[in-house]
Amino acid sequence: MLQFLKYVLATIVGLLLFSVVAFFLIIGIASVVGSASESVTLDDNSVLKLDLNKSFTEHDNVSNPLSDFSGPFISNKSQVGVVQLKQALAYAKTDSKIKGIYLKANSPSTGWAVLEEVRNALIDFKKSGKFVYSYGETYTEQGYYLSSVADKIYLNPSGGIDFNGLNAEYEFYKGTFDKLDIKPVVFRVGNYKSAVEPFLRENMSEENREQTKSFLNSIYNQVLDEVSKSRGVSVAELKTIADSLKAYEPTDALKNKIVTNVGYYDEFDTAIRKALKINEDQKVNYVNLDKYQKTISADKDAPNTDNKIAVIVAEGSIVDGSDDSDGQIASEKTAAEIRKARKDKNVKAIVLRINSPGGSGLASEVMWREIQLAREKKPVIASMSNYAASGGYYLAMGCNKIVAQPTTITGSIGVFSLFFRVDEFTKNKLGITFDRVNTNAHSDYPTLTREMDDFEKAHFQRSTDRFYEVFTNKAAQGRKMPVEKLRALAGGRVWSGLEGKQNGLVDELGGLDKAISLAASEAKLKSGEYRVRYPAKKEFFETLFDTVDAEQEARLLNSTFGDLVPYVQKLKKLQTMNGLQARLPYEINIR
C-alpha cells in the first residue's frame, strides 16, 4: 500500500512539474515570437491574401504572439476584427510592396452591415489601381456580395453560387414547451414586439411577417444596387437571374456576368502571376492578414496631438453587471468605459460602436445614463453595425447623432417580460412538487413554481408598460420628435438602417469612419487635429486560460450533445432573458 501511495504521489508531482514547465515554455515561445514579430519584413511584389471565411468581430482586442502556431490551446485566429481589417486595407492601398489582393471570401459569417463596411473598404482600396482577384469553389449570398467588388471573380467549374435572394427564418419552440409542460409567462408592449413569439406560437404573426418583409426587401435592394454597380448588370436583370437560379451553374453565372471566369485554382494562380508580371517558376509572395498587420503601425500616420476621439465598442447581448464574457455588453463595465472617456480631458468626442440585438432593460438604462452625462461634456456619436435594435437602440438614442449602414437592423423600440413556469414540468416529468408558507400575500412573487394570480399579472404588465413609456419618451426626446410620432414608429417594429433614416430614427448613413468624421466635426476638430483611440488590446496571457476553458467547454458540449449543441446553447441564453427585456426577435437568420 505504501509503495502504491509513493507511485501516486510521484505521478501527481510529475504532472504538476510538467504543467509548470509547459506554462513557462509557452511564455518563452511567446516572448521569442513576440520579439520576432517586431522584425517582420515584407517582400516586394507581394499579394495580400485575405481569408474572410471566418466570423467577424468589431474590434480584435486580443494580442496573440502565437497566432502563427497551432495546437490544442494555440490556434490561428477564427475571427476577423473589422477595425484591424480596414486599417490593413487602408495601409495596403498606399503600400508600394502590395500589388493586389487575393480575396478568399466564399462564406463569411457576419451580418450585412459589416459586409457592407468591409466591401466599401475594398472599393476604396481599388482606387489605388491595384487589383482585387477572388477565387471560390462556391459562394454563399454573403460571400458573393463581398466578392462582387473584385476585378476578376473565378468560380470552380464544378462549383456554384447561392444567388437566389434573401430569406429570414425564425425558430419556434412552442411545441417543445408544450411537450415539456413548461408555460412561458409573457408581458409585452407593441404589436411588433415579436421576441416572445418563438415561445408562444408555431409560426410568425402577421405583424412580424409584415415587418420582416419590409426590412428584408430594404436590405436586399441595397445589396442588389451595390452588386449592380460593381458588375454592370441592372437590378432588374439581377432579380431575374436570382428568380431563375441562373447563377448556380458556373456556365450560366459566366454568361450572365455574375463571374468573370470559370476556372480551377491553377488558372486563377496563373492570372495572379500575369498581374504581377512573373513567370510560373517564380513564387508568389502571399502575405496573410495577421502577418501583414505586424508590418504596419496603427500610429504610423497619426498626428502628433493629444486630442483624441475615443471609440467604445458595445458588441453582444446587453446584460446586467460586469461580466462581458461570451460576447456580452456588461452594463457596469461599459458604463465605466464611457465614464472614463468623459473624464479624460484629451478625449474630445466619443464614438459608441453598437452591434447588439438588445437585452436587459435595466442594463440599457444604466448605460444610457452614462451616455447622457458624457454628452453634457463632449459629443457622443452612435455608429450602428449589423444590429442596434431594442436595447441597442436604447444606447444609440441617447447620443448626439446616429449613423447606420443601410443594411443595419435597428428600431425594435418595445419591451417584454418573460418567465418560464415549470411546476407542471417538474410534477409530470420529474415527480417533483412544491409547497410554501408566505408571510404576505405575494411573498414569493414572482415565482416559477406556481401560476401568477390576476393581481400579480396586472402588476407586472404595469411595470412593462411603464418601461415602454420611459423608452419611447426618451427616444422621442433624443430624436427631437413628438412622442406620438415616435410611438407610431415603435411598438417593437424592426427597421433597416435605410428605413430608419427615412423615418427619422437615424441621422446619417455610413460606417464607423463616417461616425468618426461626424464626431470630429461636432467637436470642431479638423483632419490632422486628432487621433482615434480604439479599445486597448488585452495581453495574450490575460485571455489564455479563458480560451482554454472555452475550448474545453466546447469539447464537452460536442461530446455530450453532438448535433444538438446549437439548441443547448440557445437554451443557455434563455437564462439571460428572465425579467424586463428590450431585445430583438430571439434570432434573425438572414441568408
Task: State the DSSP H helix or E strand holding residue 303, giving kind and residue range, or none if neither.
Answer: none
Distance between CA atoms of residues 283 and 270, nearest Å: 11
Q: What is the pLDDT of residue 194?
A: 78
For the chain, 591 residues long, the average pLDDT of each consecutive 10-residue run is 52 53 50 50 93 94 53 58 96 96 96 97 98 97 98 97 94 93 88 83 93 96 98 98 94 97 97 94 93 78 86 95 85 97 98 95 96 98 96 96 97 89 92 94 90 92 93 96 96 96 98 98 94 77 48 51 51 54 65 69
C-beta separation of 216 from 191 below 8 A: no
- The contacts of residue 474 (CB under 8 Å, 6+ apart) are 368, 394, 397, 398
C-alpha closest to that of 358 among 399, 381, 387, 331? 387
Distance between CA atoms of residues 477 and 529, nearest Å: 32
Interstrand relation of 589-590 and 168-169 (parallel, antiparallel or unpaired)? antiparallel
Task: State the DSSP H helix or E strand holding residue 246, giving kind and residue range, or none if neither.
Answer: none
Position 20, amino acid: V
Tell me, yes or no, if 390 is annotated catalytic.
yes
Distance between CA atoms of residues 92 and 121, nearest Å: 11
Exactly one of 126, 130, 152, 193 is catalytic; which is it? 193
Exactly one of 147, 385, 390, 412 is catalytic; which is it? 390
Give the count of alpha carbons within 13 A of 371, CB side only.
29
C-beta separation of 500 from 411 below 8 A: yes
Q: Between the CA of residue 92 and those of 42, 83, 283, 503, what are the distances in Å?
A: 12, 14, 20, 38
Position 263, amino acid: G
Q: What is the pLDDT of residue 71?
A: 44
Distance between CA atoms of residues 222 and 216, nearest Å: 10
C-beta separation of 226 from 145 below 8 A: yes
Q: What is the pLDDT of residue 91?
A: 95
Phi, psi of 450 (to 5 degrees): -160, 165
Q: What is the pLDDT of residue 547?
A: 47
Task: State the DSSP H helix or E strand holding residue 149, giving kind and residue range, or none if neither.
Answer: none
Domains 46-164+245-293 and 308-434+444-590 agree in fold: yes
The string of DSSP codes covering 393-431 is HHHHTTSSEEEE-TT-EEE---EEEEEEE-HHHIIIII-
With vertex at residue 103, the alpha carbon angle to CA 98 and CA 105, rounded to the nearest 5 degrees, is 155
- The contacts of residue 517 (CB under 8 Å, 6+ apart) are none
CATH fold of 46-164+245-293, please?
A: 2-enoyl-CoA Hydratase; Chain A, domain 1 (3.90.226)
Q: What is the pLDDT of residue 205?
A: 92
Grid coordinates of 79: 475571427
Give the count of alpha carbons within 13 A of 495, CB side only.
22
Phi, psi of 357 (to 5 degrees): -85, 0
Q: Could you tell me the residue ranges of all domains in the chain?
A: 46-164+245-293, 308-434+444-590
Axis-axis angle for helices 206-231, 112-126 (nearest 10): 10
C-alpha closest to that of 137 among 128, 147, 124, 127? 147
> Looking at the DSSP assignment, which residues form a beta bridge with residue 309?
349, 532
Residue 44 three-state SS:
coil
CA gyration radius, the chain: 26
Q: Which CATH architecture group holds 308-434+444-590?
A: Alpha-Beta Complex (3.90)
Q: What is the pLDDT of residue 300?
A: 60
Distance between CA atoms of residues 150 and 132, nearest Å: 5
